[in-house]
Amino acid sequence: MTHIVVLPGDGIGPEITKSALDILRAALEVTGQEDIYSFSEHWIGGAGIDAVNDPCPQETIEACKKADGILLGAIGGPQWEKAPKTPEMGLLQLRQSLELYANVRPTQVRDELVHLSPLKEEIVKGTDFVMFRELIGGLYFGKPKYYTDEEAFDTMYYSRESIERIVRQGFEMAMKRRKKLASIDKANVLANSKLWRQIVQENSKEYPKVDVEYLYVDAAAMKLIANPRDFDVIVTENLFGDILSDEASMLPGSLGLSPSASYSANGPSLYEPIHGSAPDIAGQDKANPLSMILSVTMMLKESFAEDKLAQWIEEVTFSAIEDGFLPGDLGGTTSTSTLTKEIINRLKKGASH
Ligand code: NAD
Ligand code: IPM
Ligand code: MN
């Protein structure tokens, strides 16, 4: 039995999680695999604060450690901003407890859906890159960290080891792809970035086939829009990766299309959309579930080697999008539940996996 821990979280988190799991269950029913997988739900984020006064309960961490795969919807919302321990702190604690240091955020513009991009077709057509974001270091975690009415302090800290392990993941992925690695830093200003760049240079000697490009983060932000096809694998630190991945999500057309996977050295992997709880549309059946559906298919491929099943779900999902079942973020009016039903109907009808 393969056990999946499900952490729906807040806002649109539970809505897109339900959609993606309904779709997964329907697909598993068609392939006769429904008995292989079991699921359990646990608290995370604001939902955890409301239920048990903790955005990252120990029970959730323990369940995650025993899981074969973890799915997380999204966390956060204005009602918990002033909590002593916020939903965001809960998410960061979970990532740290599971040592999820490598966050992989792919960006792909599919030929059939190139019209959904706000950019010109000749710029975005063929875009296909993967961002490796360091997830448990840098400004997010460095101590001291505090603010008072008079001053605030954040610490940017990286050890050699924590840079090296993510950089090497980037090189390994580049070897499997088009052998191009873009390392994004701010080495003209930041000490952390100087060490980062040095370590990329050292490691590049072990990957002579990989063409390495060093970019400052400001220029990289521009180049992502001007020449997105130039990128193959990107490797960058935590905060830069956070910002650049949201920017990159607009190349195919919306934040609502972007999944991610987070890996540790040994433990289970966690799959989650890159976006947040979208309080502005929560509870309105408007969320685009693709970010979560694609997080599920990433899990099927990366954690369970179910490539065929994942590909089938993706093809069917994108066929519905191509046929105009577009949620609001992609310029349409299709609700989350209507799109979900449409995808399930197509899975049941097609069954041609
Ligand atoms: P957000 O990502 O929640 O939303 C940004 C914009 O994108 C909003 O207009 C939203 O409606 C839209 N959007 C996001 N996902 C969508 C989807 N699937 N379908 C359609 N539209 C979608 O970012 P925010 O508004 O800055 O933050 C809201 C809360 O989420 C905050 O509490 C923040 O800390 C949290 N957050 C959590 C995560 C996470 O759980 N991993 C990530 C980012 C932000
Ligand atoms: C993300 C989010 C989180 C981050 C926040 C909610 C802590 O923006 O997953 O991208 O900054 O990592
Ligand atoms: Mn983010």
DSSP 8-state code for residue 266: S
Q: Note if 218 is an active site residue.
A: yes
Q: Which of 245, 41, 59, 215 is nearest to 135 (CA)?
A: 245
Is 336:287 a contact under the CB 8 Å cutoff? yes
**Quick one: pLDDT band at residue 351, thresholds 50, 70, 90?**
low
Nearest CA residue ID for atom 7, ligand 2: 88
Q: Note if 147 is an active site residue.
A: no
Q: Tokens at residue 53, please?
A: 């006064």
Atom of ligand 1 nearest to the CA of 290: 18
Cα–Cα distance, 128 to 111 (Å, whole number): 11
Cα–Cα distance, 282 to 237 (Å, whole number): 30
95, 116, 238, 275: residue to mutate for ligand 1 pocket, most atoms within 8 A of CB: 275
Nearest CA residue ID for atom 5, ligand 2: 88
Is 192:200 a contact under the CB 8 Å cutoff? no
91, 95, 141: residue to mutate for ligand 2 pocket, most atoms within 8 A of CB: 91
Residue 84: how many CB atoms within 10 A of its CB? 7
What percentage of the chain's residues is helix, strand, coil (to nearest 5)?
50, 20, 35
Distance 29 CA to ligand 2 centre (A): 34
280 among annotated binding-site residues? yes
Q: Which of 246, 257, 249, 251 is nearest to 226 (CA)?
A: 251
**Quick one: pLDDT band at residue 352, thresholds 50, 70, 90?**
low
Is 72:7 a contact under the CB 8 Å cutoff? yes
Which of 3.40.718.10, 3.30.200.20, 3.40.50.300, 3.30.390.30 is the CATH number of 107-254? 3.40.718.10
> Tens digits of per-residue pLDDT, 23-44?
999 999 999 999 999 999 999 9
Q: Which of 137, 95, 97 is nearest to 262 (CA)?
A: 95
Q: Hunting for tokens 């609502």 — which residue is that?
A: 256
Q: Which of 278, 275, 274, 284 is nearest to 338 (CA)?
A: 284
Distance 36 CA to ligand 2 centre (A): 32
Domain positions in the chain are 1-99+267-352, 107-254
Provide the percentage of residues in the chain whose pLDDT is more than 90.
99
> Tens digits of per-residue pLDDT, 216-255?
999 999 999 999 999 999 999 999 999 999 999 999 999 9
Q: Do 107-254 and 1-99+267-352 have the same topology in CATH? A: yes
- Written out in words, the top-level CATH class of the domain with range 1-99+267-352 is alpha beta
**DSSP-assigned states of every residue in 70-107:** EEEEE---GGGTTSSS-HHHHHHHHHHHTT--EEEEEE
Cα–Cα distance, 72 to 86 (Å, whole number): 17
Cα–Cα distance, 228 to 225 (Å, whole number): 6
For helices 290-302 and 307-322, what crossing angle results, to 10°? 160
What pLDDT does 291 receive? 99
Radius of gyration of the chain (CA): 20
What pLDDT does 252 receive? 98
Cα–Cα distance, 262 to 276 (Å, whole number): 16
- Among residues 50, 65, 218, 348, which one is catalytic? 218
Is 166:233 a contact under the CB 8 Å cutoff? no
**β-pair type (211-216, 180-185):** parallel
Q: Hunting for tokens 């299309």 — which residue is that?
A: 257
What pLDDT does 350 receive? 78
> Tens digits of per-residue pLDDT, 252-304?
999 999 999 999 999 999 999 999 999 999 999 999 999 999 999 999 999 99
